């Protein structure tokens, strides 16, 4: 189902835990979102949340180093 905010993802009813974190560029523009799900309740412990948050922080630095996209565009530095 698409709405004003774009496509809507309907979660699997078996999912018991979910965490969503923005992947931000240095200018605070959103590059993407980490959306992790688990069928286990309480799966995203504080330690796992810290690891995923660290990934969300490091990921933009790695994405900028990727080769140009097919249409020649690159992510801004």
Range of the domain at 75: 13-77
User: Would you state the pLDDT for residue 34?
Assistant: 95
Number of folded domains that form the chain:
1
Asked if residue 17 is part of any domain, the answer here is yes
* pLDDT tens digits in sequence order for the chain, 77 residues long: 344 555 667 789 999 999 999 999 888 888 889 999 999 999 999 999 999 999 999 999 888 787 777 776 666 65
Opening angle at CA 13, ends 12 and 18, nearest 5: 65
Q: What is the pLDDT of residue 63?
A: 82
CB-count burial class (<10 Å; 0-12, 13-18, 19+) for 8: exposed
Place of tokens 């835990």: 17
- State residue 38's pLDDT score: 96
**What was the pLDDT predicted at 2?**
43
| pLDDT of 11 | 81
């Amino acid at each position: 189902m698409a709405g004003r905010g774009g496509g809507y993802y309907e979660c699997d009813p078996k999912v018991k835990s979910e965490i969503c974190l923005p992947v931000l560029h240095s200018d605070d523009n959103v590059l993407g979102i980490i959306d992790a799900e688990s069928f286990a309740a309480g799966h995203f412990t504080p330690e796992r949340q810290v690891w995923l948050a660290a990934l969300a922080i490091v990921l933009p630095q790695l994405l900028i180093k990727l080769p140009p996209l097919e249409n020649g565009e690159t992510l801004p530095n």
